[in-house]
Amino acid sequence: MLQESIRRAADESQAEIDLILSQERLTYPFFSEHLRRFVLIRYALDPSDCEGTDDLDKLTLISLSKTLKMSKDLVADYEAGQNCDGATSATVKRSLLLMKIQKAFSIELSLPDLMGIDTLEDVARAVWRHLPISSKGA
């Protein structure tokens, strides 16, 4: 059951990427909307789970909270005491998401791009700037 759920999420998220890449005249609003859907699917979140936030770190904690069936605060508290090098499940999950996005669009974000990402809108803007297809539309 879990493997089926993971496979379905991978297929659904890939469908969002394929939809973006198939556009003849890609516009930023379309791109941003479907990239957001991609992230929510990858994070196993419903729009209602986002609690009105666009903050990537908060969304990552919400995703982990749902996955681990623990409160966000408990996840954050638990991870704070686990190691001294700062590598938490949340930072790893966020890094893997950004790597997946770069791979999906065949781009490489610079360190300044990556360091400037705090929200889903920041992700969309950073990726958009690197897309050769983004010049096809307005």
The pTM assigned to this predicted structure is 0.82
SS3 46: coil
Q: Which residue has the higher pLDDT, 89 or 2?
A: 89
Instruction: Work out the end-to-end distance of the chain between its first and last CA atoms, rounded to an integer number of angstroms.
Output: 42
Q: From CA 121, how far away is CA 29, in angstroms rounded?
A: 11
Q: What is the mean pLDDT of the chain?
A: 84
pLDDT of residue 78: 53
Q: How many CB atoms lie within 10 A of CB 9?
A: 14
Q: Residue 88 — pLDDT band, cuts 50, 70, 90?
A: confident
DSSP 24: S
Q: From CA 93, how far away is CA 55, in angstroms rounded?
A: 14
User: Does pLDDT of 74 surpass 80?
Assistant: no
User: What are phi and psi for residue 119, nearest 5 degrees?
Assistant: -130, 170
Q: Which residue has the higher pLDDT, 131 or 68?
A: 131
- Distance of alpha carbon 80 from its chain centroid, rounded? 22
Q: Residue 137 — pLDDT band, cuts 50, 70, 90?
A: very low
Q: Which residue has the higher pLDDT, 33 or 92?
A: 33
Distances (CA, A) of 7 to 1, 3, 101: 10, 6, 17
Q: From CA 36, how far away is CA 40, in angstroms rounded?
A: 6
Over residues 92-104, the mean pLDDT reads 94
